[in-house]
Amino acid sequence: QVQLVESGGGLVQAGTSLRLSCTASGPAFSLATMGWFRQAPGKEREFAAAISGSGRNTIYAPSVKGRFTISRDNAKNTVYLQMNGLKPEDTAIYYCARDQGPFGSTYGRTYDYWGQGTQVTVSS
């Protein structure tokens, strides 16, 4: 059984930074693509970023590209999302998830395990 636990959310001002962490329990973490999704109030969940098992490949949503960086430390079973230049529209619950398929999916339906989420609120 895989469990994902996010941390690092909070209330920050626009223009500042936060780093989210997601620690996984369970087997074969280093083989799995990991992703970050977010859901703003009243909106559907959307893809933010994903990273391959080795960490060599990453993909980003256009809305976060150039501001957010996804990384991982397989020795610690942890994936990170460094968020710089935060904007009020980045306000959302951020979820970590594990992709059950090969690297490259931006669709939530291919991710089989999800964390409980961490709230990020950006004030203007």
Write out pLDDT tens, residues 18-32: 999 999 998 888 899
What pLDDT, on the 0 to 100 scale, is given for residue 1?
85
pLDDT score of 44 more than 90: yes
What pLDDT, on the 0 to 100 scale, is given for residue 59?
98
What pLDDT, on the 0 to 100 scale, is given for residue 61?
98
What is the distance in angstroms between the CA of the first residue and the CA of the last residue of the chain?
Answer: 40
**All residues at 6 or more sequence positions from 28 whose CB lies less than 8 Å from its CB, including other chains:** none
What pLDDT, on the 0 to 100 scale, is given for residue 81?
98
CA distances from 121 to 3, 14, 63 (A): 25, 9, 16
Structure-token pair, residue 97: 């998830």
Alpha-carbon gap, residue 55 to 78, rounded angstroms: 11
pLDDT-derived band at 73 (thresholds 50, 70, 90) equals very high
What pLDDT, on the 0 to 100 scale, is given for residue 17?
98
Average pLDDT over residues 22-45: 94
**All residues at 6 or more sequence positions from 95 whose CB lies less than 8 Å from its CB, including other chains:** 6, 36, 37, 38, 39, 45, 114, 115, 116, 117
Structure-token pair, residue 12: 């920050």
